[in-house]
């Protein structure tokens, strides 16, 4: 038996640059993994089959689950024929929240099964497989923070380090990613997006007051008018003391940036009680 953790991510910036010939959108995003985890367990089975069970009954365990597909595609690529595995997925990252849970699970299965089956797979090999599964999967195979480009499959880790704490609020519903992107309309208006200021701080520590004003997410303009609860969650975080608040990815989760851990924990507890939110206090991950 072997266990591996699959972390959530938040998009500190998300800029949509245009539409690609393949139908996807060209993006540039600064992404940070955080210490909110799904837990994945691998167990040998004697029947040679690959199966997946999930603690969340609303999440499928068949080929409609990215993690299951990750196991199948790795087995095929590595010519695994007779080594079965039972994969148990304990879900803690809310689904459909813009936190990358499904993609992270898939990446963790690629990493974990490569070790479990003694494959000695390179990161590049696993990233190529991950890109076949979904745009966000390769991100979780590299250290963070990272800039992602293309449709999300181009990952460029950076050495800047973000200090501070995040409170993630899940308002209790999901936002379809495909809907958010398909309804986005590219404009030529300028905004506060300045990823270069962050990415050029190589090797340096960025405290909240250095970069809180640089948070930006183009998809908020599409998602918030349809889901005003997201704006209310942002407002609640700011009122609780966050320096800034932003929707992650295509939503629905929102995160707030805090200087102090105790302030962040208190804010999360208060919003869980008064607002009925699922609230998580998290820190940046470097790996």
Task: Give residue 193's pLDDT.
Answer: 54
Residues 24 and 245: their CA atoms lie apart, in Å, by 27
**What's residue 61's pLDDT?**
87
Q: What is the pLDDT of residue 194?
A: 58
DSSP-derived pairing of the beta strands 146-150 and 154-157: antiparallel
Domain 2-157: assigned CATH number:
3.30.230.10
Residue 276, burial from CB neighbour count under 10 angstroms (0-12, 13-18, 19+): exposed
Fill in the DSSP letter of residue 213. Answer: G
User: Could you tell me how far CA 165 lies from the centroid of its own chain?
Assistant: 16
Domains 2-157 and 161-282 are alike in CATH topology: no
Report, as ranges of residue numbers, the positions in the chain whose pLDDT lies below 50.
none
- Give the model's pLDDT for residue 124: 95
Distance CA 229, CA 224 (A): 8
Sign of the CA dihedral with 134 first, then 138, 141, and 143 last: negative
Q: What is the pLDDT of residue 134?
A: 93
Q: Is 210 a catalytic residue?
A: no
Catalytic residue among 38, 105, 136, 218: 136
pLDDT at 213: 81
Q: Is there a catalytic annotation at residue 9? A: yes
Q: Domain ranges for the chain, please list them.
A: 2-157, 161-282
Which two structure tokens, joined as six digits, stand for 181? 């992107």
Q: Which of 9, 15, 91, 234 is catalytic?
A: 9
What pLDDT does 110 receive?
98
Q: Report d(CA 70, CA 106) in Å as an integer.
A: 5
- Sheet of strand 165-170, all strands in order from the earlier edge strand to the far edge: 244-247, 254-258, 165-170, 278-282
Please give the pLDDT value at position 141.
97
The SS3 of residue 216 is strand
What pLDDT sits at residue 201?
Answer: 61
pLDDT of 82 reads: 85
- Considering the domain delimited by 161-282, tell me its CATH architecture: 2-Layer Sandwich (3.30)
Length of the chain: 287
């Amino acid at each position: 038996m072997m266990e591996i953790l699959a972390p959530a991510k938040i998009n500190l910036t998300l800029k949509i640059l245009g539409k690609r010939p393949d139908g996807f959108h060209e993006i540039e995003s600064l992404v940070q993994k955080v210490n909110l985890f799904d837990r994945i367990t691998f167990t040998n089975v004697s029947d040679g089959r690959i199966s997946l069970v999930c603690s969340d009954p609303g999440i499928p365990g068949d080929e409609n689950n990215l993690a299951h597909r990750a196991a199948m595609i790795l087995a095929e690529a590595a010519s695994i024929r007779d080594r079965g595995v039972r994969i148990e997925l304990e879900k803690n990252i809310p689904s459909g929240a813009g936190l990358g849970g499904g993609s992270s699970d898939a990446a963790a299965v690629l990493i974990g099964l490569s070790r479990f089956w003694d494959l000695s797979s390179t990161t590049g090999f696993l990233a190529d497989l991950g890109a076949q599964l979904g745009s966000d999967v390769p991100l979780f195979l590299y250290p963070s923070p990272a800039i992602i480009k293309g449709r999300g499959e181009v990952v460029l880790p950076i050495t800047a380090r973000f200090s501070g704490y995040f409170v993630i609020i899940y308002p209790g519903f999901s936002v379809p990613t495909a809907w958010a992107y398909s309804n986005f309309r590219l404009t030529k208006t300028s905004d506060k997006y300045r990823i270069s200021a962050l990415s050029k701080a190589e090797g340096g520590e960025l405290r909240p007051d250095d970069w809180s004003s640089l948070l930006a997410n183009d998809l908020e303009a599409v998602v918030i008018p349809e889901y005003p609860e997201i704006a209310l969650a942002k407002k609640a975080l700011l009122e609780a003391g966050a320096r800034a608040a932003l929707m992650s990815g295509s939503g629905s989760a929102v995160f707030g940036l805090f200087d102090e851990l105790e302030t962040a924990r208190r804010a999360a507890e208060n919003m869980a009680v008064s607002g009925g939110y699922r609230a998580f206090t998290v820190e940046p991950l470097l790996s």
